[in-house]
Structure 1
Amino acid sequence: MKLKNLVAILLVVVMTGLLIYGYTLYNKTFVSNTAFEEREVYVTFPTNSTHEDVKKILSPYVKDFEQFDAVFQQVSFDQGYFPGRFLLKKGMSNYDMIQALKYNVPVKLTFNNQETIEKLVSRISSQIEPDSLALIEVFTDPEFLKENNFTKDDVLSMFIPNTYEFYWNTTPLKVRNQMQKEYNRFWNEERKAKAKKLGLTPTEVVTLASIVQKETAKVDERPKVAGAYLNRLEKGMLLQADPTVVYSKKLLSNDFEQIIKRVYLKDLKLNSPYNTYMYTGLPPGPIAMPDISSIDAVLNPEKHNYIFFCASVERMGYHEFAENLAQHNVNRDKYSAWLDKNNIQ
């Protein structure tokens, strides 16, 4: 009888121990262990991160990192921590977070309207792991430029503004290859044929499109502005595009953050190959990154006889066009008077 009681007591003790162990294990594994209030957060683990690096990154988001890490070592010891970008959701358990750290979430990489290759790589590097130096090195690699008929001045024309999907820890070479692939896809036979008909290369089309885009924010006006510039090129005239003067001023001062609202007569004499008041033809490369509407505006220009245009004071954002200098001077004087009246410097 005593032996039976002893066995029963031992069974109760074992079962109680198992229940406590199971309850503890359950709490460690399946109870919420997140420490953030947002609905979801992204964490990034750089390539070659150490255990201490991961601890430093995760600790702000996990209530008990030691508990989390203990479960991780049991469940995923073989694989370790992967580099990449991962999504954590509020209320996740240790198990849920460990599963989430297996799935590298792609980044929606976006860029537009960048004025230089340096500003572009800065924009890209703010969204993925590779830094600006690594990116610009592959984008301006002499062999790559030569093979693809680009120069350091016009390689910006290879980048078509859009939204692209990359893993956060992608390599600079993969970014360049994808950009080159998108560029080649964009410049299909139809677009190349239109460029050839205009007597322009794809790079020259993008360069002109960058001027058109800086000249007018109105998408519906871009084909008309493109037509005027193309008329000038056909006549061998100076483009005399104010946006190229603004770009020259920024380039010469090495300050692309400044806001220039007005171009003065003295600015027209700035000695820069980008200043189309000083140099005939197109600049050495784009003065910004034009979007697709501007590129297609150059490829599909409005047919007319206008060679001059000036910002309109009656239709803000649009321009007044003229076929001769006399009419243009009237429009220009009206605009200059408006600038003076509104004290725009």
Structure 2
Amino acid sequence: MAKKRASSGGIFKKFIITLVVLIILGLGGTLVFYYLRYFGPQVTGNHEYLYIRTGSDFNDVYKTIRDEDIVRDTVTFAWAAHQMKYTNHVKPGRYRLHEGMSNRKFIRMLQLGEQEPVDLSFHVFRTKAQFAGFVSKKLEADSLTLLRYLDSNTFVNQFGLNTDNAFVMIMPDSYKMNWDISPEKFYKRMYKHYENFWTPERKQQAAAINLTIPQVSILASIVDAEAVYDDEMPTIAGLYLNRLRKGMKLESDPTVIFAMNDFTIHRVLNKYLSVNSPYNTYVHTGLPPGPVMMPSVAAVKAVLNYQKNDYLYMVAKEDFSNRHNFATNVAQHNINAAKFRKALTEHKIMK
């Protein structure tokens, strides 16, 4: 009888031990299961960024992640996303991916909208369309939408500008901004930078030369188009200010090229000078209605700090050094111009 009890007790003890072991193994398996789903490495190294467009829902995000092999196991990602309640909190943006990121870290980043800003750096562009095309390759907004804002009087009027001169508020520099920034916020950011540049001192300098702030930038665009070297900019600015004060036409070749919308022209022929456009300063006195290119900061500063000289004429040097011969009178200018025309002909530059 005692042996039977001992035997029964041993069996029960073994049963309990086995049950405990099974529970531990079950819990361990469950922990491993949850660990792998939440904390295990999931993000692949196939892409540097995940782009989520404005208006996307979770299905769009899941499709992108699946189609581009962003994670090793899309089923696990979807399960974790539902558990973390991300599916109803999708935020657009440009998200930096790190190989081996866990679902938890990856989804948490998306959930909080912790995107990596875009470094947007640019120099000068000839036209608004070129600028819009460049920006559209860096940000979510497409070029047509970006251009449409600059061509909307309703939009640019809030900055005291119009569609002719709105381009002056875009200043070449380096910016950091989110990839999904709206066109409206983008231009407000550009205008803020422009507004900060125009300190009270610079506004006084503009008033001293009898130009509005947009007019300074318009003249700067002409100076920029004429000058290859920054050290010539103040001289050229002084020359054009002399002509403006005397009521002379600016007669600037870059304005003709802009009016013709043909930036392949290297030789401005007489037949081009009568092109019918408000930008043609051979026809119209004063400044054109808008910039002929995006002016650089150096050119704007050159206008504000122009060289006081007596020059009224300029022409490119005949040695093709991209510098200019300056003159105070027509006679000397004609001599300089003849030298340059001869050099163009000798080099067979006819257009």
Aligned partner letter, 1:193: Q
d(CA) in 1 for partners of 2:260 and 2:230?
26
Q: Distance in 1 between matches of 2:34 and 2:49?
A: 27
Cα distance in 2 for residues equivalent to 1:176 and 1:14: 62
Please give the per-residue CA displacement for 1:187-219, whole angstroms capped at 9, x wherever unaligned: 221111111111111111111100110111211
Aligned to 2:289: 284
8 Å contact from structure 1 (residues 231, 307) kept in 2 = yes
Secondary structure of 2:42's match? Answer: coil
Query: Contact conserved, 1:157 with 1:289, CA < 8 A, in 2?
Result: yes
Find the aligned partners of 1:296 and 1:259 in 2 and give their Cα distance.
Answer: 28
Deviations 1:145-169 (A, max 9, x none): 4454322111111222222332222
In structure 1, the residue matched to 2:345 is 340
Aligned position for 1:14: 23
The TM-score with structure 2 as length reference comes to 0.87
Once residues 343 and 285 of structure 1 are traced to their aligned partners in structure 2, the CA distance between those partners, rounded to angstroms, is 33
Once residues 94 and 336 of structure 2 are traced to their aligned partners in structure 1, the CA distance between those partners, rounded to angstroms, is: 54
Provide the residue aligned with 2:99 in structure 1: 90
The offset of 1:79, in angstroms, is 5.3
Output the CA distance in 2 between the equivalents of 1:222 and 1:123.
26
Deviation at 1:138, TM superposition (A): 4.3
Can you give the 5+ residue segments of structure 1 that lack an aligned partner in the other structure? 251-255
Q: Are residue 229 (structure 1) and residue 248 (structure 2) matched?
A: no
AA aligned opposite 2:36: N
Q: Which amino acid aligns with 1:299?
A: L
2:279 to 271, 274, 282: 274
Structure 1 position 276, deviation (Å): 1.0
Secondary structure of the residue that 1:16 maps to in structure 2? helix
Aligned counterparts of 1:124 and 1:77: Cα–Cα separation in 2: 30
Give the gaps of 5 or more residues in structure 2.
1-9
SS in 2 for 1:20: helix
Residues 214-268 of structure 1 deviation map (CA, whole Å, 9 limit, x = unaligned): 1112111111111111111122211111111110111xxxxx6x53332222112
Deviation track 1:272-317 (CA, whole Å, cap 9, x = no partner) reads 1111111111111101110111001011111111111122244712
Letter in 1 for 2:162: T
C-alpha distance in 1 between matches for 2:150 and 2:278: 22
Count the aligned residue pairs: 337
1:191 counterpart SS class: helix
Aligned counterpart for 2:44 among listed residues 31, 35, 52: 35
Shift in Å at residue 47 of structure 1?
1.9
Aligned letter for 1:51? F
Alignment partners' CA distance in 1, 2:247 and 2:81? 70
Say whether residues 1:305 and 2:310 are aligned partners. Answer: yes
Contact 2:149–2:156, Cα closer than 8 Å, also in 1? no
In structure 2, do the counterparts of structure 1 residues 143 and 51 end up closer, same or farther at CA, with 3 Å as the change threshold? closer
1:53 aligns with 2:64: no
Q: CA RMSD in A?
A: 2.3
- Inter-CA distance 49–299: structure 2 relative to 1 (3 Å threshold): same
1:180 alignment counterpart: 191
Match of 1:265 in 2: 270
Distance 1:123 1:5 in 2: 74
- Which stretch of structure 1 is more off in the superposition, 267-276 or 166-175? 166-175
Distance, in Å, in 2 between the alignment partners of 1:26 and 1:259 is: 63
Q: TM-score scaled to structure 1, two decimals? A: 0.89
Query: 2:42, 2:100 within 8 Å by CA — same for their partners in 1?
Result: yes
Q: Which moved more, 1:311-320 or 1:8-17?
A: 311-320
Q: Residue type of the partner of 1:281? A: G
Partner of 2:133: 122
Question: Post-superposition shift, 1:143?
Answer: 4.2
Q: Aligned match of 1:204 in 215, 225, 230?
A: 215
Deviates more, 1:2-11 or 1:112-121: 112-121
For residue 253 of structure 1, what is the aligned residue in structure 2?
none
Q: Please, which moves more after superposition, 313-322 or 274-283?
A: 313-322
**Match of 1:194?**
205
Name the larger-Rg structure: 2
Which of 114, 119, 122 in structure 2 is aligned with 1:108? 119
Residues 1:238 and 2:249 aligned together:
yes
Contact 1:117/1:155 (CA < 8 Å) preserved in 2?
A: no
Alignment-derived partner of residue 248 in structure 1? 259
Quickly say closer, same or farther: Cα 1:149–1:49, change in 2 above 3 A: closer
- Counterpart position of 2:171: 160
Secondary structure of the corresponding residue to residue 307 of structure 2: coil
**Inter-partner Cα distance in structure 2 for 1:37 and 1:342:** 52
